[in-house]
Amino acid sequence: MSSNDQEQKQDTASITNEVVQTPQAVEQAILGATSKEYEDQQHYLQGVRLYLIMVSLCLCLFLTNLEIPIVTTSLIGITDDLGDFNKASWVISSYLLGYVGVLIIFSKLSDVFGRKSILIFVVLIFIIFSGACGAAQTIEQLIVFRAFQGIGGAGNYSLSAVILVELVPSNKYAKYTTIVSLFYSLSLLLGPIFGGLITQNTTWRWIFLLNLSYMVSLFYALTTY
């Protein structure tokens, strides 16, 4: 038998082996990819704990962003009680200044001290100064307390965005980002409505005091889970 015939037989046998092994190789590749995907999923929260933390983060964002439109529609009631209508715009501006001034700082601090620790800290700031705003006796006190409330609100917003990215795998970002955006939009939509209803039917102080019950519940959830 010539050497060419032997080479052709060897090539034919090699091709046959590859064809036989191909289904097995494909199956192993699929199983390996599935196993890797499963292992990657274990790095992220799942089940009840994930949903509780997501609800907490969404409510943090909702209450934080609600503070701008809800107060805007209540300025007349606030100044009727505290006076100094000329300073009314500072009730809004002070919150925005505190909010914008530290928006990036808390995300950097969370890199050093941990996400959960800083989030609990900023929620606590928001709770304390929401109560202080509700108890303010002068417009000047309210302006100062609003600035600190804005600092807490900035931390809630920035950390909620950062933590969301770390909670879920990249293939679920779109789903959870949509949920968070919905809560953000609802806060801007419902804020003026809530502000008008509260001011017309009770005292403006409940605009801030209502935050306490929700934020204390969130604080408990964050410290527990």
Residues 122 and 53 in one domain: yes
Residues 22 and 60 in one domain: no
Residue 149: per-residue pLDDT: 94
Cα 178-151-89 angle, rounded to 5 deg: 95
CA-to-CA separations, 114 to 109, 110, 120, 134, in angstroms, rounded: 8, 5, 10, 31
Domain count, the chain: 2
- Lowest-confidence region among 70-84, 140-154, 208-222: 208-222
Residues 208 and 119 in one domain: yes
Residues 79 and 115 in one domain: yes
Q: 2 is in which domain, residue-wise? A: 1-43
Residues 36 and 51 in one domain: no
Top pLDDT among 42 and 81 is at 81
Give burial (CB, 10 Å; 0-12/13-18/19+) of 95. Answer: buried
pLDDT (mean) for 146-166: 87
Q: What pTM did the predictor assign?
A: 0.74
Top pLDDT among 8 and 74 is at 74
Q: Are 99 and 154 in contact (CB under 8 A)?
A: yes
pLDDT (mean) for 27-41: 43
Top pLDDT among 21 and 79 is at 79
Residue 139: per-residue pLDDT: 93
Residues 95 and 156 in one domain: yes
Mean of per-residue pLDDT scores for the chain:
79
> Is residue 31 pLDDT above 50, yes or no?
no
Top pLDDT among 63 and 215 is at 63
Residues 50 and 17 in one domain: no
Residue 211: per-residue pLDDT: 84
Percentage, residues of the chain above pLDDT 90: 21
Tell me the pLDDT band of 223, cut-offs 50, 70 and 90.
low
Helix or strand holding residue 105 (H, E): helix 105-113
Q: Are 65 and 157 in contact (CB under 8 A)?
A: yes
Residues 129 and 24 in one domain: no
The count of other CB atoms within 10 Å of the CB of residue 220 is 11
Residues 90 and 190 in one domain: yes
Residue 225: per-residue pLDDT: 54
pLDDT (mean) for 122-141: 92
